[in-house]
Amino acid sequence: MRIRIERRGKVETMMHGMKRLGIAAVLMLAISGYLHADDCITQSAMKPVERDALATAARGLAAKVQAGDVAGLRGATVAEYAKDFGGIEYVVSSTAPKLKGGTLVVEQVYLLDGTQLTRGADGSAPDAQFFCTLNHSMAEADFLIPGLPPGSYGFAIVNVEGTASPWRLSFLVRKEQGQWQMAGFYPTPLSAAGHDGIWYWKEARAMAARKEQWNAWLYYQQAESLLRPTSFIQSTHLEKLKTEQASATPPAVSDGVSKDAPLVVKGADGAEYRFTGLGVDDSLGKDKIDIMAHLKIDQQGDVAATHKLSASAAGALLGAYPEMRKPFHGVWIVAEVAGQNPFATEFPVSEIH
């Protein structure tokens, strides 16, 4: 059993206003309401000099992250974001140790022409969308970026390979005086409990075929988390994954799980537990991922009382859906009271009764 006190608030790793979602599943951004920027150029269609310059800049940024060089990274960041760098500094300091000894490989680069975007009458940055056809095929990668100032942008994905757990470092960059400078940083792991996103996708399909809807639904979440570089990117393949997940979604959560639509589970003693979020977590680095369940409670007592309530909630959840016992290591219960810090406790499945 593990306990941790959660601090309120989340670090922003998207410096143009998008907040990185941690344990919740990332949903596709609605296309309506976005302005259309004309040009997206994939790496296969770029001129070699353009591709090399963008790849070199991305590799340089990734090297600074790997080395924990916060000052150097800040110096390579566009001015309006460099002035408030505390969030990025925290993310870099927590990510850098996981990248030691890894080899930096530039996986993909894109050129995004946002020079035709115009600010609103109040000076606000517009929303933008870029549609990128991949290798002259039907496949697409779409960027739906809110609050994007006009300019010439690039997006680069750098994989860190050869470590115990591979990572993906994605960067939004903007050209300033002929140089690419960072305008967004999005680090994500490429594996969870030793498996990549494709493995979780295949396992989710197999679970769905066995009518294990809860397991499939959660494994699809893990697959998406590992395969999506950042929340403002959608692609043909990710749309296919989301379609499969939708068909496997348990009826009880067909409208999602939220504060307004909680998943209500009854315990053996008849007590009701209201879960406002249900996802996955790999923070412990075990051989299986954990379930992450957010529990709404009326008041938070002392540690012992909250622990007891959380243990009962975990038991109720697995009692209602026993199929979850097999593919997961444990259950995190995040007890939440409005206006107070969440209280999170992890219970190994073997200890949940």
> Percentages helix, strand, coil for the chain, rounded to the nearest 5?
35, 30, 35
Average pLDDT over residues 327-346: 94
Q: Give, for 114, the enclosing helix (H) or strand (E).
A: strand 103-114
Q: What is the tens place of the pLDDT at every residue in 277-311?
A: 999 999 999 999 999 999 999 887 788 999 999 99
Q: What is the pLDDT confidence band of residue 8, given thresholds at 50, 70 and 90?
A: very low
Mean pLDDT to the nearest integer, 145-157: 96
Confidence band (pLDDT; 50, 70, 90) for 314?
A: very high
Quick one: CA torsion of 261, 189, 144, 9, rounded to 10 degrees? 50
Asked if 2 and 314 count as a contact pair (C-beta separation under 8 A), the reply is no
Spatial distance between the Cα atoms of 78 and 153, rounded to a whole number of angstroms: 12
For domain 31-189, the CATH architecture is Roll (3.10)
pLDDT higher than 60, residue 31: no
Supply the mean pLDDT for the chain: 88
Candidates 115, 109, 114; CA nearest to 45 is 109
Segment 261-273 mean pLDDT: 95
**Which pTM was predicted?**
0.86
What integer is the mean pLDDT of 67-89? Answer: 95
Give all strands of the β-sheet with 272-281 in edge-to-edge order.
2-5, 343-348, 330-336, 290-296, 272-281, 263-266
CB 168 within 8 A of CB 188: yes
Q: State the pLDDT at residue 339.
A: 84
**What pLDDT, on the 0 to 100 scale, is given for residue 35?**
43
pLDDT of residue 136: 57
Q: Where are the domains of the chain?
A: 31-189, 195-351
Whole-angstrom CA distances from 72 to 61, 75, 93 are: 9, 5, 13
Q: Check whether 9 has a pLDDT greater than 60.
A: no
Return d(Cα 54, Cα 44) in angstroms, integer: 13
Would you state the pLDDT for residue 269?
Answer: 87
Q: What is the mean pLDDT of residues 89-101?
A: 96
- Tens of pLDDT, residue by residue over 201-212, are 999 999 999 999
Confidence of residue 140 (pLDDT cuts 50, 70, 90): confident
Q: How many CB atoms lie within 10 A of CB 85?
A: 16
The residue behind tokens 């530039």 is 106
**What pLDDT shows up at residue 23?**
26
Distance CA 337, CA 76 (A): 41
Confidence class for position 21, pLDDT limits 50, 70, 90: very low
